[in-house]
Amino acid sequence: MADLKQNAGTEINALSALFAIALIALLMIPFALVRAAAGEDVIARASVASVLEGGISGAISALGGAPRVQPDRPAGERRASTAVMGQAEGGLAAATVKSQGPRAELLRRSWPYILAALTLTLVSLLVIYRSARRAVLGLVKSQSELRRALEAAEHANNAKSDFLASMSHEIRTPLNGVMGVLHLLRDDPNSNDGGLLLEKALESGEVVTALINDVLDLSKIEAGRMSLDPTPTDLKSVFDSVAVFFTAQCRQKGIVFELDVAAGVGWAMLDALRLRQCLFNLVGNAVKFTADGGVKVAAELREGRNGPMLLVSISDTGIGIAETAQAALFERFKQADGSTSRTYGGTGLGLAITRHLAELMDGGVRFVSAPGTGSTFRLEVAAPPASPDRAAAEADAAGMPLIGLRVLVVDDNATNRLIVSTLLGRLGAEVVTAEGGAIAIELAQVSVFDLILMDIQMPQMDGLETTRRLRASSGPVARIPIIALTANVLHDQVRSYRAAGMDGVVSKPISPALLLAEILRLSGEEMKIAV
């Protein structure tokens, strides 16, 4: 780009110089003509003066004084007058002859100037034309190169997105089987040692899942495609789930976890998943970097300029953050100390993603910290009031919230079908499975289902094509709610699922809580669940 600018500047300077030369050349022509005109004027004036001088001299010499007008002049006076006129005519003729000679001489002398000016003008115009043509061709070539570079960049970006999608699918699919089995085993009676091992395995799986989510979220942020899904959210239940998760970790480390939620914190319209993600990032860092003392989470509602704001304060008594590292703390892949990547682990993505999510929710993240005394992070997000979600409230009150619900699970992976059907069966649902899209369409035509859980990547007929054919059917089949269960959850992919006719998306590895929440969300709109 710098070379292009330099070349363009050189061409502009050259054209400017040529225009100046051409202008000077054009001005030489009127200059030569002015000289010629000036010379002719001098000759004319000399000729007129000569005429007048000759006539007057002749008159004075013939009459010996001033001429007089008389009605009847004598013959001698007429002869004197005739002599005067003859001398005047002779003077004019002589002046004419004299003027023709200098004019021709002047034109002869001016002709080289005129010819040189015309030649220089033509040459300058020719050079200007060739330079302009060369500059235009250079710009066309540059635009072609830029267009090819842009196409290459877009191709590379698409390749990166495809790689992320492929990586996500390849990692999530086996991880879904591992975590699904662990979730099921955790609820079965087993020994204390077995339960501890299962908890450790689940924690490890959650770490891998969080890492994959961070990478995908970063990709969405870079592409400007991060979006929110606000729903009525019980803020107290969100904080309770955070407390349950981190209380066990703090107990293992020998530190104290404290939660203080103000009385006014209730239901709000916001993205519960993204709020929970921010809290897990901030509280997780506080627990990770605190070896003595404890971690305190306090939440309250305050009135902001545009409505109620949820203010969450996360304080710890950990190692703190050096002043030199604070400026870059929210940058991607940055950590307070390079050695912490070995001592404490982490990718350095959590805080950058948290700040972006907070700003997306009309808030922000601030902090104060000092080495050796701990840190306090303050998360602020918009929290407009919302009415309680009746379906969620009923589900909380019921031990088996999906009793009476008939669900068709479509997945080509036998392990995934087993996990989902067992999970839904424990929640009270009646489950039928299909290993492909064609079988799913046949079952939907002959049986009645309240919900379909659809995998996306399947051989022969994928989940998108299966959904399109179901939506194109007649009767109640076309209106069955469909939830995508997939490891491919990039923004463009989710949008394609919606365009195909799907009503919701749950990512793999499957979280039982998120799956139930998505089912309950749809239940309030289209499904009837017997409780």
DSSP 354-408: HHHHHHHTT-EEEEEEETTTEEEEEEEEE--B----HHHHHHHH-SSTTTT-EEE
Q: Is 159 left (phi over 0), alpha (psi -120 to 50) or beta?
A: alpha
- Please identify every stretch of the chain with a pLDDT value under 50, giving residue numbers as ranges: 1-2, 4-5, 40-71, 73, 77-78, 80-81, 84-85, 88-89, 91-99, 338-342, 391, 397, 526-531
Label the pairing between strands 294-304 and 256-261: parallel
Residue 162 tokens, joined? 């495809």
- Tokens 């002049």 map to which residue? 73
Contact 504, 518 (CB under 8 A): yes
Measured between alpha carbons, how far is 176 from 187 in angstroms, rounded to an integer?
17
Instruction: Quote the DSSP letter at residue 449.
Output: -
Contact 53, 91 (CB under 8 A): yes
Measured between alpha carbons, how far is 287 from 351 in angstroms, rounded to an integer?
14
Instruction: Quote the DSSP letter at residue 115.
Output: H
Buried b vs exposed e over 194-227: b needs ≥16 C-beta within 10 Å?
eeeebeebbeebeeebbebbbebbbbbbeeeebe
pLDDT tens digits for range 97-145? 444 555 566 566 667 766 776 777 777 677 777 777 877 787 888 888 8
**pLDDT for residue 462:** 93
**pLDDT for residue 109:** 66
**pLDDT for residue 267:** 92
Measured between alpha carbons, how far is 518 from 423 in angstroms, rounded to an integer?
14
CATH 3.30.360.10 fits 391-523, yes or no: no
**pLDDT for residue 257:** 95
Give me the half-sphere count of Cα atoms (radius 13 Å) on the Cβ side of residue 478: 6
Question: In this structure, how many other beta carbons lie within 10 angstroms of the beta carbon of residue 313?
Answer: 16
3-state helix, strand, coil in the chain (%, to 5): 60, 15, 25
Measured between alpha carbons, how far is 286 from 41 in angstroms, rounded to an integer?
100
Is residue 187 helix, strand or coil?
coil
Answer CATH for 227-382 from 3.40.50.20, 3.40.50.300, 3.30.565.10, 3.30.930.10 = 3.30.565.10
Residue 324 tokens, joined? 């030199």
Tally of residues, the chain? 531
Question: In this structure, how many other beta carbons lie within 10 angstroms of the beta carbon of residue 143?
Answer: 10
Contact 253, 287 (CB under 8 A): yes
Measured between alpha carbons, how far is 292 from 253 in angstroms, rounded to an integer?
8
Residue 91 tokens, joined? 């003077």
**Across the strands, what pairs with 380?**
311, 364
H or E stretch at 404: none
Q: Which of 466, 468, 508 is nearest to 487 (CA)?
A: 508
Domain residue limits, the chain = 2-64+72-154, 227-382, 391-523
Contact 390, 366 (CB under 8 A): no
Measured between alpha carbons, how far is 392 from 524 in angstroms, rounded to an integer?
9
**pLDDT for residue 43:** 44
Query: Residue 220 contacts by C-beta under 8 Å, 6 or more apart in sequence?
Result: 226, 490, 491
